[in-house]
């Protein structure tokens, strides 16, 4: 994580952070179009698409700034990219900015989903749709397995055995035994955060 924000005035938060001189400040229309493009081209999660569009193509923010803001949005409750739109939009145009970013981000794909849902409800049982969905679901399973493997690689590579054990416990209880995530998270989150707290102390990254 970069230390950009620390060099800004003491009263700054992600919502009021001053905009750097070397970036482009989008107009309200551009704000809408930017989020619209990211959401409509973003398949299987929009993170990589958002980074490309906002940092490289439109130059709304530096790469560090993007990473900082996105890390915050992952930490906060709620869908990451939705938080991202609200915070960035607010920073530019307060309530209107947040509303514009959200509309661009969620409006078009929600309409598309509703349309897809209507089609599924009407034609989902027709043989040709059944066949297509059988293939699509099998491919989606492969995509999800790849995501899970990719996510767990850092733990295995760095031999974070305790963290790997927590991940395995979550998988066994939720995936195999089908327990409610409410109880699993209540039980495992303190353990996992405790492990991270200790390794942060060993790494000497945090403040006491």
Is 25 a binding residue for other proteins by CB under 8 A? The answer is no
Q: From the centroid of its chain, how far is CA 192?
A: 20
Size of the site for other proteins (CB under 8 A): 102
DSSP 8-state secondary structure symbol assigned to residue 17: P
At which residue do the structure tokens 């001053």 appear? 18
Residues 87-116 that bind other proteins (CB under 8 A): 87, 90, 105-106, 108-110, 112-114, 116
Interface stretch with other proteins, choices 19-27, 58-66, 75-83 (CB under 8 A): 75-83
User: Which own/partner contact pairs does 69-72 have at CB distance under 8 Å and 24+ positions apart?
Assistant: 69/14, 71/1, 72/14
Report the distance separating Cα 207 and Cα 125, nearest Å. Answer: 58
Distance CA 23, CA 91 (A): 14
Range 111-130, binding other proteins (CB under 8 A): 112-114, 116-118, 120-121, 124, 128, 130
Smallest separation, CB 118 to other proteins (Å)? 8
Measure the CA–CA gap between 52 and 65, rounded to whole angstroms.
Answer: 13
141 lies in the binding site for other proteins (CB under 8 A): yes
Instruction: Give the DSSP H/E element, type plus range, for residue 131.
Output: helix 127-157
Q: Which of 55, 83, 100, 101 binds other proteins (CB under 8 A)?
A: 83
Q: In the complex with other proteins, which residue's Cβ is closer, 31 or 39?
A: 39
Contact set for other proteins, span 171-190 (CB under 8 A): 171, 174-176, 178, 180-182, 185, 188-189
By CB under 8 A, the residues from 151 to 170 that bind other proteins are 151-152, 155, 163-164, 166-170
Query: What residues between 32 and 61 interact with other proteins by CB under 8 A?
Result: 39-46
> Toward other proteins, which CB reaches closer, 27 or 175?
175
Binding of other proteins by 149 (CB under 8 A): yes
| Residue 2 binding other proteins, by CB under 8 A | no
Residue 95 in tokens = 């309530």
Q: Rounded distance, CA 198 to CA 80, Å?
A: 27
Nearer to other proteins, 21 or 207 (CB): 207
38 Cβ partners below 8 Å, 6+ apart? 46, 49, 50, 53, 54, 105
Which of 57, 113 has the CB closer to other proteins? Answer: 113
CA 161 to chain centre: 25
CA distance 192 to 195: 5
Cβ nearer to other proteins, comparing 58 with 192: 192
């Amino acid at each position: 994580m970069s230390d950009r924000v620390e060099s800004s005035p003491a009263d700054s938060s992600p919502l009021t952070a001053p905009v750097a001189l070397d970036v482009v400040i989008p107009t309200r229309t551009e704000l809408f179009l930017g989020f619209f493009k990211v959401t409509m081209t973003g398949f299987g999660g929009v993170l990589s698409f958002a980074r490309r569009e906002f940092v490289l193509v439109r130059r709304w923010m530096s790469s560090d700034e993007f990473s900082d803001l996105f890390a915050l949005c992952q930490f906060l409750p709620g869908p990451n990219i939705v938080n991202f739109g609200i915070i960035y939009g607010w920073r530019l145009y307060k309530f209107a900015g947040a509303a514009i970013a959200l509309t661009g981000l969620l409006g078009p794909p929600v309409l598309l989903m509703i349309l897809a849902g209507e089609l599924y409800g009407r034609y989902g049982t027709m043989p040709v749709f059944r066949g297509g969905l059988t293939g699509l679901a099998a491919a989606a399973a492969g995509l999800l397995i790849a995501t899970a493997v990719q996510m767990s690689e850092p733990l295995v590579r760095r031999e974070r055995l305790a963290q790997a054990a927590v991940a395995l416990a979550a998988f066994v209880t939720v995936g195999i035994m089908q327990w409610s995530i409410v109880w699993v998270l209540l039980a495992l989150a303190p353990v996992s955060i405790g492990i991270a707290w200790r390794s942060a102390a060993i790494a000497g990254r945090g403040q006491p």
